[in-house]
A and B are shown apart, each in its own frame.
Chain A
Amino acid sequence: DGGITQSPKYLFRKEGQNVTLSCEQNLNHDAMYWYRQDPGQGLRLIYYSQIVNDFQKGDIAEGYSVSREKKESFPLTVTSAQKNPTAFYLCASTDFGTGSGNTIYFGEGSWLTVV
């Protein structure tokens, strides 16, 4: 079945360490997004990509980095510069075509905790 796969589901990071969250989709979607969600809050946009080898900063990009080398993959790296990374991270994708463009698909999310 088509969908988005995020991994790992749970991740622990030590102080000063970089960690990478994986996001893979087999929906042939052009656009992919990364969001951060803190308890009781909405989704805040970190980075988004409309096409391979291109991506844009969202509202809270500082301390994060991404790449889009393949259409299917949009990994997010939480760097040591992100001082408060503990949160729930969600990856999403959508197609701007008329077919499935009326739906945003989400991965199951990744919980990142700093230890």
Chain B
Amino acid sequence: GQNIDQPTEMTATEGAIVQINCTYQTSGFNGLFWYQQHAGEAPTFLSYNVLDGLEEKGRFSSFLSRSKGYSYLLLKELQMKDSASYLCAVRGLLNQGGKLIFGQGTELSVKP
């Protein structure tokens, strides 16, 4: 089966750096995704990792360690508009149906 854990909520200050962790257990792995979601809206894509290491994209970076079942999303130079829910998702293997499971989401509040 698959299981994903993220902290429920975090608070950070404008201009600072915040790291949101995600741990997962899965019987087959075919990629980990990070999404941002504002209340009442569809999630928007932030990053994708399928190999170990760090992927950087502007103010956002995502790290993956497959052996540890661990990922984090790093947000730099926080802005007020970054206040949102951040979702970690793991995709299973194609030959196992390609199941795509999301964590409960981490509600990030950015304070002035």
Q: Given the complex, which residues of A lie within 8 Å of B40, measured CB to CB?
A: 88, 109
Q: A88-B40, A102-B31, A104-B89 are in contact. Are A45 and B45 (CB under 8 A)?
A: no
Residues facing B in A66-103 (CB within 8 A) are: 88, 90, 92, 94, 96, 101-103
Contact B43 A106 (CB under 8 A): yes
Alpha-carbon distance A59/B1, docked complex (angstroms)? 10
Contact B41 A50 (CB under 8 A): no
Say yes or no: is A2 at the interface (Cβ < 8 Å to chain B): no
Contact A107 B48 (CB under 8 A): no
Alpha-carbon distance A81/B40, docked complex (angstroms)? 25
CB-nearest residue of chain B relative to A33? B100
Alpha-carbon distance A58/B89, docked complex (angstroms)? 14
Q: How many A-B residue pairs have CB under 8 A?
A: 63
Contact B87 A42 (CB under 8 A): yes
CB-nearest residue of chain B relative to A44? B102
Say yes or no: is A53 at the interface (Cβ < 8 Å to chain B): no
CB-nearest residue of chain B relative to A91? B42
Q: How far is the CB of A71 from chain B (nearest CB, A)?
A: 15
The tally of residues in B whose CB lies under 8 Å from a CB in A reads: 25
Alpha-carbon distance A92/B40, docked complex (angstroms)? 16
Contact A41 B99 (CB under 8 A): no
The tally of residues in A whose CB lies under 8 Å from a CB in B reads: 27
Alpha-carbon distance A94/B97, docked complex (angstroms)? 12
Q: Other CB < 8 Å A-B pairs besides A31-B100, A94-B91, A106-B42, 16 of them?
A: A31-B98, A42-B102, A42-B103, A43-B87, A43-B105, A45-B99, A48-B98, A50-B98, A88-B40, A90-B43, A92-B100, A96-B94, A102-B31, A102-B50, A107-B42, A109-B41
Give the B-binding residues of A (Cβ under 8 A): 31, 33, 35, 40-45, 48, 50, 56, 58-59, 88, 90, 92, 94, 96, 101-104, 106-109
Give the A-binding residues of B (Cβ under 8 A): 30-31, 33, 35, 40-43, 45, 48, 50, 87, 89, 91, 94, 97-105, 107
- 9 closest Cβ contacts across the A-B interface? A42-B104, A102-B48, A43-B102, A106-B42, A42-B105, A96-B94, A42-B102, A31-B98, A56-B97
